[in-house]
Structure 1
């Protein structure tokens, strides 16, 4: 009995309407002291309010379970994307109710205003959807769902607690990967900024010898086969396949820099996932290497159907390290792991020309054996500072330093080009599009 009573008063909450009614009663009692003609009106008002409160309690507590609530969430969340979740409600009361819902979302979101209001008719079911955008990979713990029910009287609220604690993993942006995948399958990549690049010359991969049909290129006629068959025969070519594409991700402290809630490492991880998936759709082989002061993960290039899931699982666990990149170890790993000429996309960040010069000898060695594409980031905050008008001498000094660092980035591109090393200097938000564009360009020009 004591436990039941405790549950009763811990789940009972007074509303503003009740406090307004009590305040009105207090005012009537005060006025009755100065105006005797009010008589028993204050007492009648108070007892009427008391009866209404009792009636409201009876209405809300006449059934043990008047409402049902359940959280609808995906098996995993996609980092940096809008993930849709829902709260399913069922009203088991025989009358209309007003409902307020609190969903205890993970602390990582730093939101304390997840409060939903709705109304439900008897036996009505409803699904309330809302959006969460995580900015870090890892495990997110959801708590209980708190539902506050109020009748038409609106004097008290009854709270229902639905213990639905669950842990959801936030993976690299697989929603973005699927979007690009659908665009690639339907040949609509141009809608999201992917350029159409004209293929130069013939593909180098021979497919078959077939009968000549009007419209075939005369240069592809196979004269030996024509002599044997007595009919015109032509060589048929197809796009080159099974080329190796490796994404190499720098996990050192240079990639910890934040931008719009995400670190540069997370941007590189998301872009690597999309690029690997596009490469697999183009029937190339995708691989992955992560590196900091030591080698992290190594996924050999392959094009099996399970390859993208394997890469996704590896990327999910990667974290920023706080030491310098061991380029000598990276070079040795690439030489041991990658046995044929491949496209190596190196995601890193250089803030100064001296930072590049420390790594340049090893980049030149890698470029001797593979087509190396170095992807690094523009410092958008410095760019904003350099574009702002200076108000004083200190402002001129800060603007000059910002422009110096911005100019260093352009010098890095030129320095890499001197040694036939491809490069992309991009803002974080355009990283994925620019990387895919360059991959398709290199493939069309048969540089891999």
Structure 2
């Protein structure tokens, strides 16, 4: 749920020559650097201009210095052509980190999508004595990675379900890869893991120009991941667990109910309240970190609250928030994870960092009250950890996400011990 610019890349029928798309991408960045946001949006497709008008574009771009410092240099653009679109990637070197600007263009070299993404180096290769191997798999047409412990098995397994946004298989956020840390950490302790690219990341064209909800974005693919593990050699089909992070934790009970093959749930930094209630809170927190909650900041939060009211009252079916349609937010607003979990007779492990500014004490209190009488529930609270499970000190912020770190080993060890202790309770494939 971290704030970021993540626009759906729109599918197009043909591609243009290499030079022209790169020039268009660089021209967009020239205008952003110069603060010419109205001029920048003139090169947008109509769909892009509606989703991200000049004021929203300015708000995102102008927020970058607080997160990564001043822009120092641009790198050499590179281009990838597919049947659907032309994508230009431009490295951006800031004072405190690097980002990639991913610019999608249509056949007329209009800007059809933009994604500012942390530039993260390739994942380190596995050591020869890692104790497990990784192999590519497909989850409902999405690229994924299965980490399988050495030996004959059968092994217990965990499906990792992402938080909000177009996440990759490692759930790369800033300079960190929480899912890579968890997947490899569990596999090294004898637990198979399956992680995959989220559909909004791998196939954004599936969502262009239409309404969609949580089933299409998250739930259906997670159910397919569980089903894939249930028929994978070396996996114990009665010991498959779902570990959902953030929004993924919020949806984990629904995934289990839909699947019928889940032995237990790990809820990691899972909201207990609707996402639309959390958005204004998160923005107020971030905007007040410097001690100056200005009139402009208050107006920004008021506009978010206005957009939320429009979505909830249904007065504008075409309304969008953070690039997603009203249908998506209304679907999310109907989710009650506490009530969904109460309908299940499954073991649950609840994990929460006290330095998490995205899922906070009201959510903790709701979960603790709901799980207090549940003999199958275990709760773990980590004073030093943030939303990504990374240790730190002082108030957490978005800038912290750009500092390289790793998910705390105690959290991973707690998950491993809990999963290993669970008997096989899932349904047979």
* TM-score bucket (shorter structure): 0.3 to 0.5
Q: Which has the larger radius of gyration?
A: 1
Q: Which has the higher contact order (CA 8 A, sep 6+)?
A: 2
Structure with more of its chain in helix, by fraction: 1
TM-score, normalised by the number of residues in structure 2: 0.33
TM-score, normalised by the number of residues in structure 1: 0.32
